[in-house]
Structure 1
Amino acid sequence: MEEQKYFFDTKEEEKIINFIQKLNLDKGKKGQKIKLLDFQKKILTELLCWKNMDGGSRRYREGFIFLPRKNGKSFLIACIFVYSLFCDEEYGAEYIIAANSREQAGHLYDTVKNMIETNPTLRKHCRIIDSRKKIVRKATNSFLQVLSSDASKADGFNGHIICLDETHEAKNDDLYSKLKTSMGTRTQPLMLTITTASNGQDEFNLEYRTYLYAQKVNSGEVDDPTFYSAIYQADDDCDLVDESQWYKSNPALGIFRNYDELKSLAYRAKAMPQEEAKFRRLYLNQHIILSTEQGINMNKWKLCGEKPFDMEMLKGRECYAGLDLASSKDFAAFVMVFHIDGEYFVVPHLFKPSADLVDAQNRDGFDYVTHSKAGHMHATEGDNISYRYIRQKINEFAREYVIKDIAFDRFGSAGIIADLQEQGLYVVDFGQGYRTMSPAIEKFYDVLFEGKLRHPNNPVLNWMAGNAKVTENAAGDLKWDKGKAGKKIDGIVAMTMALSMAIDDNYKLDLNKFSDSDALDKLGW
């Protein structure tokens, strides 16, 4: 059926290859002509030469190019831009280059500019405006332009071919969404995203989300004949020094991707386990967490959420709680931890003002609205977090469970803590610095790796777990860190405080069971 809808234009294929191979390389020997490699020909011609039987327009409206470092992603896109700018018949076409920074997008622009400037024929048919990073083709009133990463400045465009570079680093999908919707009136638009792998932990990350969609299209789970992907990555858990996996993930290996360098890096990673994650991510293009990115082993965390538990079994039982309060528009978290038969059961309650959900969703790239409707978090009324509502909920919980102590971060807590004390609840000041947090985090790591933690697989708390990083001081002490992007970890902070107290309570020694000397021995004195 697909064959009847589309055809492969062999004349266009020949035209593309001949055109590009008359251009000069932007690196290497001056004046050296481009000689396309087989994988480059495949990507270029599959994207541009498959056409609709009805009208002859291009089949693909979106392309996802997934390649590891130093395999010429930007070069491929530059070829598409230059060919289309001079060979497409689209009048008033707009070619947009965007990335996470204007400087990053400028690298791709420079490659396009060099291809044009070093070809006298092309050079005389366009005007290059370097100050604006813009190239204008007079005959068709078309232009290529670098765009700021600021999505608010992306209005008013009508893209013909658009490329977003290194989407694994995108903070959210605002720019992608705005530019993609700008293409609605074009007959054969093409939205391109080029990238290496992200850590694969954030389902809202633009690269990972597109990667998962590509996999569904390729497997037939999703029927989208307008979506194209070229995915180059090694098999999961492959041997680091398996050369066949190097070639599978690096199609330019041994040609312009240096073989000896990659081999050296592979054997270094094999000999030094701390280098393995970096090698897999950057050079085998696998979705791997780097040690600098993740404070929580998400594989272990997911395993601890796989066994559901009935909340009814917790009613009337003793627990400890952690309270992490927020600035007026931020998250607040109240998390209870129950110790039952050697396991620690986590019950999170996460709060955010309802009036800020949409704006915060756009800022943070997380679907707060859907999760609040699903009951995974509390949306308190108004523009600011409602401490009154949080206090009421804690009082409700205190009637259902035996809350022995509530650990709190003193920041912004004075008012609500005084109210909770008046109502007969016990509260404990829990510092957030290295001295207090380091032993608490170490206890969390112990129960996590032993599989003794049980959490309800709450998607908001899971997201926060993925956001959490740790910083370490000179003495090797740890504390939680949101990272430079200031991602939300409030639920993890509250859980860590509660868990620490629950573990300490479990291991308290009943000194009456021992003689004085035995008791001192137990205490290490």
Structure 2
Amino acid sequence: MAAYPNVNVANKYARDIIDGKIVACRAIRLACQRHFDDLKKSLDNNYPYRFDRDLAERACRFVQKLPHSSGDLAGQKLKLEPWQSFIFCSIFGWVTKKDKKRRFREAYIRVARKNGKSFFAAGIGTYMFCADGENSAEVYCGATTMAQAKKVFTPARQMASRLPALRSRFDISVWTDSLTRPDGSVFAPMAGKPGDGDSPHCAIIDEYHEHDTDHMYEAMTMGMGARSQPLTLIITTAGSSLESPCYDKDKEVKEVIEGITRNDRLFGMIYELDAGDDWTDPKNLIKANPNLDVSVKYSDLVELLEVAKQVPRKVNAFKTKRLNIWVSGKSAFYNMEQWKAAEDPDLELADFANDSCNIGLDLAKKLDMNAGIRLFTREIEGKRHYYCIKPKFWVPEDTIHTTDPKLLKTADRYQKFYEMGVLEATDGAEADYREILASIIDMQDENRIDEIDIDPAGATALRHQLEDNGFTVVDIRQDYTNMSPAMKELEAALAGGRFHHDGNPILTWCISNVIGKFIPGSDDLVRPTKGDNQSKIDGATALFNAMTRAMLHESSGGTSVYDEEDIAC
């Protein structure tokens, strides 16, 4: 028998996902690839984390000694499916090289209903309650209602009740609404905020999409300060509010696994359909349901799918609960897989010294981010190609370090971008247009600038200063007339392989936030908008400003720059 059977199963699962042997969405493929990328990094002495197979195996062995508490399998031992083994091994196997404390402080699992996530969470909670080596461990199952909180706690309580050996080994007392141990450890459900004296070792937040605010999340995580290796476990399906803290956390996880931002302490697995997938096609069910034909039957899902196709009022419930799709009138405009495919990190300004260049400027609020996008154009085989290289982003220094509770999440993201060296901080509390002007003047030394395309709103002074310094400045109002052709041209160019960028993470983030707002009753005219105030699109709108003018450059090949056949590619 293999010395590390669960670790081997976990690694095989991840390899099969990457190799396409198991059908999965992009987010899951990236999460699995991250694991192997980090294994390679761990060989470097400067990388602070390593994978401990013994700790991963120990957690998996423990949970598989727990019994099912209900249903047809009641009394039988839990069996981790490959996808569950991968999650367990990742959470408990990755540790710091310095002291073997857990690397991941937070794990976010979004998966469709009936995939066994409550039993899965109950196993993690039980392990951390009694077998994690933490004195006076406090484990809480938090939800918006006590009934929901007990959906994780009750299976854990029943597991302990059914297993005398577990109670004896760890001296567990089973009560109606808690499990306790003599050292002060407690495992209990919780609705609302934890008390001031609570210090969670593990906080399980169930169905996070139902939370209107992040009060519970903040209170739970703030109380973990005294713990050396705490874990916040978020388990949820998709919901319908793009304003919810869950949706914001969802985006944060995707940014990490996409490589847009870095957070080595955050682990995430998101089982969902990809953009463009046909939700009515049964072959896509597996993407949101990794436990297909284990805890959720394929035939049952197909029946529910057929009902949803026939009864419109059931569509949204089926999409959120069974396909794990966020349901909203607001959906991303661009295909991010195409955007990723357009990335070329080898693009250099020096290679475009003699090419036509437009700079698109978007000047946001004085307290927020400003963007300057360099866009080059070339004609290749009669078609217009676009190259976006070394974009510039500026934000007031005080905004990065703000203590305003409403701006903390945005500020945290800005801080990460600043540390990555892709965001410039201007002095003071407001945008310093003098520094932005100086940056643009410096750009002339790097490449030719044909014109600067700027949204005139709030930019009168800078516009005049640019003209005084010899630049040709063109006003681009961000309305349907100007934005629609540029947005559609970018869509076509991405589909046709005519757009190329150097992978700047801020621009990637901005593009991913773009939501198309169409004139009511029309699919022809569209302009960019965003889902919420924290989803910035300044880089995207600056790009549209530049592209609006770049599209008008004379074409040597006589071919229309807006090529409809590209979209069909």
TM (normalized to structure 1)?
0.64
Match in the other structure for 2:138: 94
> Equivalent residue of 1:461, what SS?
helix
Per mean C-alpha deviation after superposition, the further-off stretch among 136-145 and 337-346 is: 136-145
CA distance in 2, matches of 1:402, 1:60: 51
CA distance in 2, matches of 1:466, 1:425: 31
Question: Does structure 1 residue 344 correspond to structure 2 residue 383?
Answer: no
- Quote how far apart the aligned CAs of 1:377 are: 2.6
Residue aligning to 1:496: 544
Q: Distance in 2 between matches of 1:306 and 1:228?
A: 27
- Quote how far apart the aligned CAs of 1:331 are: 0.4
User: How far did 1:69 drift?
Assistant: 2.0
Q: Is the 8 A contact 2:110 2:269 kept in 1?
A: yes
- Secondary structure of the corresponding residue to residue 539 of structure 2: helix
CA distance in 1, matches of 2:288, 2:516: 35
What are the superposed Cα offsets for residues 465-511 of structure 1, whole Å, 9 maximum, x if unpaired? Answer: 1222222221222111121253111011001111111102335999x
1:444 equivalent to 2:487? Answer no
Are the counterparts in 1 of residues 150 and 189 from structure 2 also a CA contact under 8 Å?
Answer: no
**Which residue does the alignment assign to 2:472?**
426
Amino acid of the structure 1 residue aligned with 2:543: M
In structure 1, what is the equivalent of residue 333 of structure 2?
A: 295
Tell me by how many angstroms 1:86 deviates.
10
Mapping of residues 281-360 of structure 1, within 5 Å: 283=322, 292-306=330-344, 308-315=346-353, 317-341=355-379, 342-347=384-389, 348-359=391-402
Question: Alpha-carbon deviation of 1:366?
Answer: 5.8
List per-residue Cα deviations over 1:84-132 (Å, max 9, x = no partner): 989999885422234xxx52x655324367779999x99x97576xxxx
CA shift, 1:206, in A, is 5.6
Q: 2:350–2:446: 8 Å Cα contact kept in structure 1?
A: no
Q: Distance in 2 between matches of 1:350 and 1:89?
A: 46
Paired with 1:373 and 1:84, the residues of 2 have a C-alpha distance of: 34
Distance 1:411 1:178 in 2: 41
SS at 1:505 equivalent? coil
Note the C-alpha offset of 1:265.
5.7
Structure 2 CA distance, aligned partners of 1:437 and 1:13? Answer: 54
- Stretches of structure 1 that go unaligned for 5 or more consecutive residues are 26-31, 53-58, 129-134, 214-221, 511-525
Offset from partner CA, 1:226-247 (integer Å, 9 cap, x none): x999998999999954599589
Change (3 A) 1:315 1:375: farther
Post-superposition Cα deviations, 1:420-473, rounded to whole Å, max 9, x if no partner, equal: 233343333322233332222122222222222222211211121122222222
Q: Structure 2 length as normaliser, TM-score? A: 0.60
Q: Could you say what secondary structure the match of 2:553 adopts?
A: helix
Secondary structure at the residue paired with 1:506? coil
2:302 to 260, 263, 285: 263
Q: Which amino acid aligns with 2:512?
A: G
Corresponding residue of 1:250: 291
Counterpart position of 1:515: none
Aligned pairs, how many?
454
Equivalent-residue separation in structure 2 for 1:324 and 1:137 (angstroms): 57
Quick one: which amino acid aligns to residue 77 of structure 1? A
Percent identity of the aligned residues? 23
Computing the radius of gyration over CA atoms, which structure comes out larger, 1 or 2? 1
Q: Which SS does the other structure have where 1:329 is aligned?
A: coil
Structure-1 separation of matches of 2:283 and 2:117: 24
Structure 2 letter corresponding to 1:300: Q
Take 2:330 and 2:209, find their aligned partners in 1: how far apart are those partners?
16
Match of 2:15 in 1: none
Gaps of 5+ in 2: 6-52, 94-100, 163-172, 559-569
Return the offset for 1:399.
Answer: 5.8
SS at match of 2:551: helix
Q: CA contact under 8 A between 1:328 and 1:385: conserved in structure 2? A: yes
Q: Is this contact kept in 2: 1:168–1:206, CA < 8 A?
A: no
Q: Is the 8 A contact 1:79 1:112 kept in 2?
A: no
Query: In the aligned structure 2, how far is the partner of 1:299 from the partner of 1:15?
Result: 41
* 1:15-414 matched pairs, under 5 angstroms: 16-17=66-67, 21=69, 35=74, 67-77=111-121, 92-98=136-142, 103=144, 106-111=146-151, 126=175, 142=186, 144=188, 146=190, 157-165=198-206, 178=222, 181-184=225-228, 192-195=233-236, 205=251, 207-208=253-254, 241=282, 245=286, 249-251=290-292, 257=296, 259-264=298-303, 283=322, 292-306=330-344, 308-315=346-353, 317-341=355-379, 342-347=384-389, 348-359=391-402, 362-364=408-410, 367-398=413-444, 401-414=447-460
Letter in 1 for 2:434: R
DSSP 3-state at the match of 1:436 = helix
The answer to whether the 8 Å contact 1:202/1:466 transfers is no
Q: What is the letter of the counterpart of residue 397 of structure 2?
A: S
Q: Give 1:344 deviation, angstroms.
A: 1.7
Decide whether the 8 Å contact of 2:109 with 2:235 is kept in 1: yes
Change (3 A) 1:353 1:264: same
Flag the 1:376–1:175 CA change in 2: closer, same or farther, 3 A. Answer: farther
- Find the residue that maps to 1:487 and give its secondary structure: coil
Secondary structure at 1:328 match in 2:
coil
